[in-house]
């Protein structure tokens, strides 16, 4: 894949070559001249991208009950990363949907949710780890898993951020897109099974140059007795950065400040 460089509003100046147009299967409404690349990610898979400011990632659930756990870091300075407490507190919310912004620990918008057909995405449920996976699903080897990926979300993300010089201490709380967790009056979490149906999608616009890593392992609170996470389709396209009348920018004053703070990094 060719290197993608960035300018202020039209970030990619070189298109990837030899890419398969998977996006035509799950995002046919996207303009062909704006799509950069697309992927089909099996359940339990993981990967990472460096995405320039002004690109948008569409995530589409290809199976009922899919989950994709996403972490974000500034690609310019990876000490700056997504901060879940600040993002939720600033926006007075305990879940994400269209209009919400994923803020860094330096008060800047890393990414904004610009489209959402699902309506609720979980920022609180954390990650499936090896111990919980073993307790819930048992031990499986390569042969019995029929060559399928059998890996916890935590391990998948550690592998991905490790490719970029990060380690366990750098793993932040993820956003579990497509999953819903409610909290009762006693403070107990309740997982909503099959909250997202196949075809549900959400779009994440990069407000900065972002290192994004993800895992499609099950949500840690998913009560399903078998390890059978759903597939996810990904498409990255040129969207441009947030305009003055952007919905996310005007959603809350805190969002406007966070996007403005990100804009300041790209004045020249």
Per-residue confidence (pLDDT) for residue 131, from 0 to 100 = 95
pTM of the predicted model as reported, rounded to 2 decimal places: 0.91
Q: Domain range spanning residue 170?
A: 23-266
pLDDT at 14: 62
Give counts: helices (H), strands (E), the chain. 6, 12
The reported pLDDT for the residue numbered 146 is 67
Q: Does residue 15 fall inside a structural domain? A: no
Give how many domains the chain has, as a whole number: 1
Instruction: Note the pLDDT of residue 35.
Output: 96
> In this structure, is residue 18 part of a structural domain?
no
Q: Would you give the DSSP letter of residue 32? A: T
Q: For the chain (length 268 residues), average pLDDT per consecutive 10?
A: 41 65 96 96 96 98 97 97 98 97 98 98 96 92 74 97 97 98 89 94 98 98 94 97 96 98 93
Asked whether the beta carbons of 100 and 93 are under 8 A apart, the reply is: yes
* CA torsion, ordered 260, 261, 263, 265, to nearest 10 deg: 170
What pLDDT shows up at residue 147?
65
**CA separation for the pair 229, 219 (Å, rounded):** 9
Q: Is residue 52 part of a domain?
A: yes
Residue 45 domain flag: yes
**Nearby residues of 208 by Cβ (< 8 Å), 6 or more positions away:** 53, 74, 75, 76, 104, 108, 109, 110, 111, 262, 265
Query: How big is the chain, counted in residues?
Result: 268
pLDDT of residue 19: 78
Domain membership of residue 78 (yes or no) is yes
| Residue 90 covered by a domain | yes
Query: Is residue 9, in this structure, part of any structural domain at all?
Result: no
Kindly state whether residue 16 falls inside one of the protein's structural domains: no
């Amino acid at each position: 894949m060719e290197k993608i460089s960035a300018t202020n509003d039209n970030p990619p100046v070189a298109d990837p070559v030899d890419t398969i147009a998977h996006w035509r299967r799950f995002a046919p409404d996207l303009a062909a001249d704006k799509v950069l690349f697309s992927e089909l990610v099996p359940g339990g898979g993981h990967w990472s991208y460096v995405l320039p400011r002004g690109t948008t990632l569409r995530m589409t659930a290809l199976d009922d009950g899919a989950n994709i756990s996403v972490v974000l870091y500034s690609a310019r300075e990876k000490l700056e990363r997504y901060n879940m407490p600040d993002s939720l507190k600033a926006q007075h919310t305990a879940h994400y949907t269209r209009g919400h912004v994923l803020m860094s620990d330096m008060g800047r918008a890393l990414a904004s949710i610009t489209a959402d057909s699902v309506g609720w995405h979980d920022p609180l449920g954390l990650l499936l780890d090896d111990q919980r996976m073993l307790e819930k699903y048992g031990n499986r080897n390569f042969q019995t898993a029929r060559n399928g990926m059998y890996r916890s979300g935590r391990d998948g993300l550690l592998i991905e951020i490790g490719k970029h010089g990060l380690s366990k201490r750098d793993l932040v709380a993820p956003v579990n897109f497509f999953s819903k967790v409610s909290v009762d009056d006693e403070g107990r979490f309740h997982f909503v099974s099959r909250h997202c149906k196949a075809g549900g999608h959400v779009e994440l616009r990069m407000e900065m140059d972002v290192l994004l890593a993800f895992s499609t392992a099950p949500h840690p609170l998913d009560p399903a007795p078998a390890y059978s996470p759903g597939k996810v389709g990904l498409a990255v396209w040129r969207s441009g950065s947030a305009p003055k009348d952007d919905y996310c920018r005007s959603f809350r004053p805190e969002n406007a400040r966070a996007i403005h703070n990100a804009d300041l990094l790209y004045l020249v």
